[in-house]
Structure 1
Amino acid sequence: MKIIGLIPVRLSSKRLKHKALLKIKNLPMIVHTYRRAKMSRLLDDVIVCIESKKIEKELKKFNVKYIFTSKKHINGTERIAEAAKKIKADIFIDIQGDEPLIDPKNIDSLIKFHKKK
């Protein structure tokens, strides 16, 4: 069973512009989130769902895996739905891009819960 973590991200945040690229200890927030998600023992892969060349440029610096999606999406769920159509997997986990301190154990607990169903 293939399980993929998808992280939707965009630059048009209303309250805090370019939030995903804000630096925390010299790394963009989205890179912290990606690296924490990669620490999950049960995810086979993690992919950031992007809509901007500016985000792509930053992600390339840190070897972050990404996929382009439409700029027309109104929320992260739509962005993930588009990406999921392009990626082969059995389960997709939605991980928000502004969670730089996400606990990988929580991701694993969520996966274990859903695998029981």
Structure 2
Amino acid sequence: MRVVVIIPSRYGSSRFEGKPLADICGKPMIEWVCRRTIQAQCVDSVHVATDDHRIQEVVSAFGGSVVMTSSTCRSGTDRVAEAAQRLGLDSDDVVVNIQGDQPLVDPRCVDAVVQPFHDDPTVKMSTLAFAIVDPREINDPKDVKVIFDNKGDALYFSRATIPHGRDGSSGYDIYKHLGVYAYTKKFLEQFLAFTPGRLEEIEKLEQLRAMEHGHRIRVVVSPYDSPEVDLPMDIQRIEARMAALGLC
């Protein structure tokens, strides 16, 4: 079973055009994501999937691997699936989908999201959660929350605060969903063949599609946060965290 990280990356964005190439501590953001994920112990290879030659040139310049994909991909997951096909992966190989706007992704997160495939042969898809420590994230719809059962399988993902204490109670953990997924290549292809679900359309959360079609998503709680860069103003916050970690 090979473990292959594929980082979907596009240049165009209504909120932050050219985001993958944004400078963070002297390196383009996509380079940080590549260099950190390749440090994971379980990873066989890391590839950037893009349809933009500017991204291709930058990734090639720092020695990264690029898979050119179609410009008609509807989502990052579509782009990951196309790249996995072009790479000739086997149906049982594990594909790790990491968003290209997570320059602080911890290599141990990659190992953690892959571990369920070794522990439980019935797992087809997994993802990560992090116990929220920043109160702002609890009510911010940008930060997706997840709840899961005693086995670790997701019960629901939402932009709302879940669980919601009826009596205003507190003192319990609320988990943020981290944008790192792993799937067998076979299930990734099945997932994209599913019709979008009603809850997916309401919440605008693609992962709900798998659950609406009756499939489990194993959730692994990670002690390592992986904050995303959504807007240019986020870069200063990320650079401050990198400086505190001695990365820049």
Instruction: Give the Cα separation in 2 of the matches to 1:115 and 1:86.
Output: 25
- Structure 1, residues 36-85: CA drift from partner, whole Å, max 9, x if none? 10010001000000111111111121011110000111210000111111
Give the RMSD, CA atoms, in angstroms. 0.9
Partner of 1:92: 95
Q: Which residue of 1 aligns with 2:71?
A: 71
Unaligned runs of 5+ in 2: 121-248
Secondary structure in structure 1 of the residue aligned to 2:47? strand
Amino acid at match of 2:102: E
Residue matched to 2:245: none
How far off is 1:88 after superposition? 3.3
Residue equivalent to 2:185: none
2:95 partner SS: strand
Shift of 1:17: 0.9
2:48 matched residue in structure 1:
48
Aligned to 1:108: 111
Normalising by structure 1, we get a TM-score of 0.95
How far did residue 116 of structure 1 move?
1.6
Q: Which amino acid aligns with 2:111?
A: D
Distance 2:102 2:96 in 1: 14
Partner of 1:82: 82
- How many residues in Structure 1 have an aligned counterpart in Structure 2? 117
- How many angstroms does 1:115 deviate by? 2.2
Rg bigger for which structure? Answer: 2
Residue type of the partner of 1:30?
A: I
Q: Distance in 2 between matches of 1:84 and 1:108?
A: 19
Distance 1:104 1:63 in 2: 19
Unaligned 5+ runs, structure 1: none
- The structure whose RCO (Cα within 8 Å, separation 6+) is larger is 1
Q: Distance in 2 between matches of 1:50 and 1:72?
A: 11
Q: CA deviation at 1:19?
A: 0.5
Question: Between the two proteins, what is the percent identity of the paired residues?
Answer: 32
C-alpha distance in 1, partners of 2:97/2:15? 22
Note if 1:38 corresponds to 2:41: no
2:22 corresponds in structure 1 to 22
- The CA deviation at 1:114 is 2.3
Q: What SS does the aligned partner of 1:63 have? A: coil
* TM-score (ref. length: structure 2): 0.46
